[in-house]
Every structure is written in structure tokens, then in C-alpha cells.
Amino acid sequence: MNLHFFRLVFMATISLATMITWTNPATAQDNPPVGFEISHHHVGISVSDAEESAAWYSRMFGFKVVARINQKGMTVVHIQRGNCYLELFQVEGAIPLPEYRRDPTSDLGVHGTVHFAFQVEDAAAAIKELKAKGAEIAMEPLDTPGIVFAFIRDNSGNCFEIIEYKEQ
């Protein structure tokens, strides 16, 4: 399928999502209660060089290294900013990111985790700053009725989203 089609589907999905309620109350009531709490902890990312990626995320977003693990054939660097953690994996013999995974809309055509997002108060200002620091923009900002979002590539080509919710 072509890139234009995926972008249209992606934009339509985001626009629709801003107009609907995500939880169907009837369905939520039918589910038994869960006996434990959860919170988001981290996202794991395979990168070509864990130390270079840790430096990139530090320069672009202010992350700090909180742990390093070196095992046979693998380096893992945990980085943190506030309550946001990333786990950077460098594995010997890992294959580079396929070209189609570098495009946030093409990647929607493959099952699995597609991307992660950083929420910001002002997407335009964040993108401007990231561009000034040399970040690669995978998709320029899209301004929809409820959100503004854009996609960035890290130094290993992994796409992630910058998102601003206009009203909360």
C-alpha cells in the first residue's frame, strides 16, 4: 500500500479518536475488577550504539543515565527523565532497522508495537527546538481539532511521536 493511503488512514483515525469516547461503559462494567494497580514504567528500544543513543536522548530531551548493564554480547543502558524511562539495547549481530520501519505511517501496516510518544505542552515549540538541535523529523506536525502531533527519528532511525493535547 502506498504512503499517501496510510497517512490518510492515520490522520482519519486520529481525528476520529478526538471525537469519540474510548471506553464503552457497558463493556467496562462486564469485566471483573482487577486486583492490582499498574503504571507505565519504560519502553525498550533496540539501537545500534547504546552509549551514543543515551547521549542523543540526553541532548534532545534531557534524559540521564540511571543504569548500565553489560552482558555477553549485549549492552543495556537505562535512561530517565522524570517518570519516563527508556531502556536502550545494543546487541551484537542485530540487524539494522528496516527502511519501512523508519516511516511512521508505513509501520502501521505491520502488527506489533508501532511507536511510543512523549507528551508536551507545546508541540510546535518542541519540534522547533528539536530541529535546531539536529533531530530528524519523520513527519511534520499535524494539527487536528484535539491534538497536534509529529514524528521524530532517533539516532538509530526509531520513530517516536511528540504529542500535544489542546484541552485536558
Mark the ranges of the chain whose per-residue pLDDT is less than 70: 1-29, 168
Which residues, 6 or more positions from 160, have their beta carbon under 8 angstroms from its beta carbon? 115, 116, 117, 118, 151, 152, 154
Q: To the nearest 5 percent, what fractions of the chain are helix, strand and coil? A: 30, 30, 40
Q: pLDDT, tens digit, for every residue of 69-103? A: 999 999 999 999 999 999 999 999 999 888 888 77
Q: Of the residues 75, 95, 115, which one is the last residue of a structural domain?
A: 95
* Domain span including residue 113: 97-168
Pairing state between β 84-91 and 117-119:
unpaired
Residue 119 shares a structural domain with residue 159: yes
Residue 88 shares a structural domain with residue 129: no
Looking up residue 114, the CATH number of its domain turns out to be 3.10.180.10
Q: Residue 10: what pLDDT?
A: 53
Kindly state whether residue 131 falls inside one of the protein's structural domains.
yes
Read off the pTM. 0.78
Q: Residue 168: what pLDDT?
A: 64
Kindly state whether residue 153 falls inside one of the protein's structural domains.
yes
